[in-house]
Each structure stands twice: as structure tokens, then as C-alpha cells.
């Protein structure tokens, strides 16, 4: 790639040097996908139990570290396989645009995993060692998402695997370590978040559809085609809100959870931002808005659960 293209992409993405290089590597806009499930699982738990602050903080940090490490594995393995270059939009750009050694990114990811393991030991001591088994599976899938011989991200199963593991599993673990109980209710309330997190992956794949197709990936967005993939994303959003309405109507969620419907405005904006766009840079705002939809929905839902404890 020539230096002119290199410079234009950095300018278009407003990428800066210094600390910003490492901050971008974390892909901070994706970290809410790990914060929201822990927050909701914990808030659902304290409706009938006392909050264990230490476990909440440990679970939150461990989840965000695993998410950040997964992003770094993505950065490393996509570079190693020749999928990323200095024109790639949906990455931190740490290796291809900032010149950080690939091995440094890989080692940092493994370090984050190591810290998450230490936090997991504390969580297990305070709850159950079964959490270690489940946590290990989550970490393994975090690695296999873009690592290993058959990366999940290159298949049609990226959305469902990320949604289930980061949404349903994390919410259930967050609930269990606070209550030492497991109920069907927590699984049900996890479904909208699992769908929203899967939506983040879907929007990412819609944006990267052309490049992914050229590199032999078989993502769900590629199989559906761009227009149908955008429609499918809209259906995902709709299902999440319909499930929320059902849960409120049946009493599974409090009436206060109606405030989560304020995020519909952003969900609609996501679809509008995608429509008619074909270039990655043009679709980047839609990708960011998808993450915001999950963040605002999840935050408002968690707040509604918290409020219901006091009224």
C-alpha cells in the first residue's frame, strides 16, 4: 500500500499516536459487550440477594480482560494470515499502521488472559470451582474465535457463539456467583443481550463483507448477502425488544424495564446508517451505533432492575 493511502486511512479514522495506539488495540467500543452482561446478571441477582461487591468487580474485570485479549488475538491472527493491511477499518491498526510487533500484541493478549485466570481463582474460591471449567471454555472460544486452524469468525457461527458465550453464559455466571443458585429466569433474560451481542458481530461482518469474501471467509453476512444481512440485523433487534416486552408483561422483568425501549431510537439509526452503504469507512458509524444500542439497552435494563429493589 502506498503512503498516501496509509495516511488517508489514519486521518479518516482519526488515529493518534502514543497512548492512543494501545487504547485502540483494546477496541474500547467493544468492551461494553463484556460489561453489560456482568452488570445485568448482577443486578438481576441482587433483587433477592445481597450484592457481593468484590465478586462483581472481579467478574467485571475478568470479562473485560478476556474480551480485550480476544480483540488482540483477532488483531494478531488476521495479520499473520494476511487478512489485515493498512487499509483495514475494523481493527485497532496497531500492527499494520503503527508498527507494533505482532509478537508484542500476542504476548499482551496472553498476559490479559493470565490476569483473568487469577481473578477467576478468586471467584472460584468464593463461589464454585465449576466456574473454572466454564470460564476456561469461554477463554478457549475467545482464542479460537480468530485463532486455531478453523477460526469461528470465518464461519457462519460467529454471531451465535459470541452471543451465547458473552451474553447468556456471562450473565448466568454473574448471577450464580452472587446467589449460588441457577434458575431458568436468568437464562430467559439473557436472550435479548445475547442477540444484541450477536448483532455487534453481524454489523462487523456486514461492514467487512467484501474483504472477507475475497479472503475466503464464509460469514453469515456473506451467505445472506449485504441487503438480507441488514434485514436480518433489523430482525435481531426486533426480536430482542419483543422478548423484553414479553418479559415485562409476564412479570419476569419489572415495569421499570420499559426505560430500555429508549434504545430503539439508536437501533433504528443503525439500520438507516447501513442502508445504501458499501464501503467500510461509510459503514463504520453503523458499526459504532450497534455497540451503542447494546450498551444503552443493557445499561438501562440493569438500572431498571436496580431501581426495582428500592420501590
Residue 146's closest CA among 228, 235, 80? 80
CB 58 within 8 A of CB 122: yes
**Residue 7 belongs to a domain:** no
Residue 310's CB: how many other CB atoms inside 10 A? 5
Say whether pLDDT at 76 is over 70: yes
Whole-angstrom Cα distance, residue 5 to residue 9? 6
DSSP characters for 105-170? HHHHHHHHHHHHHHHHHHHHHHS-THHHHHHHHHHHHHHHTTSSSS-GGGSTTHHHHHIIIIIIIH
- The total number of structural domains in the chain stands at 1
**Residue 105 belongs to a domain:** yes
CB 5 within 8 A of CB 266: no
Domain with 165, as residue range(s), is: 19-307
Location of C-alpha cell 463484556 = 34
For residue 2, the model assigns a pLDDT of 43
Mean pLDDT within 263-277: 95
**Residue 272 belongs to a domain:** yes
**Residue 234 belongs to a domain:** yes
Burial class (CB in 10 A: 0-12, 13-18, 19+), 304: buried
CA distances from 114 to 9, 72, 78, 111 (A): 34, 14, 22, 5
Say whether pLDDT at 8 is over 50: yes
DSSP single-letter state for residue 96: T
Q: Which triple of cell numbers denotes residue 112?
A: 490479559
CATH classification at residue 242: 1.10.600
Whole-angstrom Cα distance, residue 132 to residue 128? 8
Whole-angstrom Cα distance, residue 261 to residue 132? 35
**Residue 5 belongs to a domain:** no
Whole-angstrom Cα distance, residue 296 to residue 232? 21
Whole-angstrom Cα distance, residue 70 to residue 48? 34
**Residue 13 belongs to a domain:** no
pLDDT, one tens digit per residue, over 33-75 is 889 999 999 999 998 888 999 999 999 999 999 989 988 898 8
pLDDT, one tens digit per residue, over 234-260 is 999 999 999 999 999 999 999 999 999
**Residue 211 belongs to a domain:** yes
**Residue 14 belongs to a domain:** no
Mean pLDDT taken over the chain: 89
Q: Which triple of cell numbers denotes residue 251?
A: 412479570
Phi and psi dihedrals of 7, rounded to 5?
A: -65, -40
Q: What is residue 215's three-state secondary structure?
A: coil
For residue 55, the model assigns a pLDDT of 96
Mean pLDDT within 67-93: 79
Whole-angstrom Cα distance, residue 263 to residue 246? 17
Whole-angstrom Cα distance, residue 301 to residue 256? 8
Amino acid at each position: 500500500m502506498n503512503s498516501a493511502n496509509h495516511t488517508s486511512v489514519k486521518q479518516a479514522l482519526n488515529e493518534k499516536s502514543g497512548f492512543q495506539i494501545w487504547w485502540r488495540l483494546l477496541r474500547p467500543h467493544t468492551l461494553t459487550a463484556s460489561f453489560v452482561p456482568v452488570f445485568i446478571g448482577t443486578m438481576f441477582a441482587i433483587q433477592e440477594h445481597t450484592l457481593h461487591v468484590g465478586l462483581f468487580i472481579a467478574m467485571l474485570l475478568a470479562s473485560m480482560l478476556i474480551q480485550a485479549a480476544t480483540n488482540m488475538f483477532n488483531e494478531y491472527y488476521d495479520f499473520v494470515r494476511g487478512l489485515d493491511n493498512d487499509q483495514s477499518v475494523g481493527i485497532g491498526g496497531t500492527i499494520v499502521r503503527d508498527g507494533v510487533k505482532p509478537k508484542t500484541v500476542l504476548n499482551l493478549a496472553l498476559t490479559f488472559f493470565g490476569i483473568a485466570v487469577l481473578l477467576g481463582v478468586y471467584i472460584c474460591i468464593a463461589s464454585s470451582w465449576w466456574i473454572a471449567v466454564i470460564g476456561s471454555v469461554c477463554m478457549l472460544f475467545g482464542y479460537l474465535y480468530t485463532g486455531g486452524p478453523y477460526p469461528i469468525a470465518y464461519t457462519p457461527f460467529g454471531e451465535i457463539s459470541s452471543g451465547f458465550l458473552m451474553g447468556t453464559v456471562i450473565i448466568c455466571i454473574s448471577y450464580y456467583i452472587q446467589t449460588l443458585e441457577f434458575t431458568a429466569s436468568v437464562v430467559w433474560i439473557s436472550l435479548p443481550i445475547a442477540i444484541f451481542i450477536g448483532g455487534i458481530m453481524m454489523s462487523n461482518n456486514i461492514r467487512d463483507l467484501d474483504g472477507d469474501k475475497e479472503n475466503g471467509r464464509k460469514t453469515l453476512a456473506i451467505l445472506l448477502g449485504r441487503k438480507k444481512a441488514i434485514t436480518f440485523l433489523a430482525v435481531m433487534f426486533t426480536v430482542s425488544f419483543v422478548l423484553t416486552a414479553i418479559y415485562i408483561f409476564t412479570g419476569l422483568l419489572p415495569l421499570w424495564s420499559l426505560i430500555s425501549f429508549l434504545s430503539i431510537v439508536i437501533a433504528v439509526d443503525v439500520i438507516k446508517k447501513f442502508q445504501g452503504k458499501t464501503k467500510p469507512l461509510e459503514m463504520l458509524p453503523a458499526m459504532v451505533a450497534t455497540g451503542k444500542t447494546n450498551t444503552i439497552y443493557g445499561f438501562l435494563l440493569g438500572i431498571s432492575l436496580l431501581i426495582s429493589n428500592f420501590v
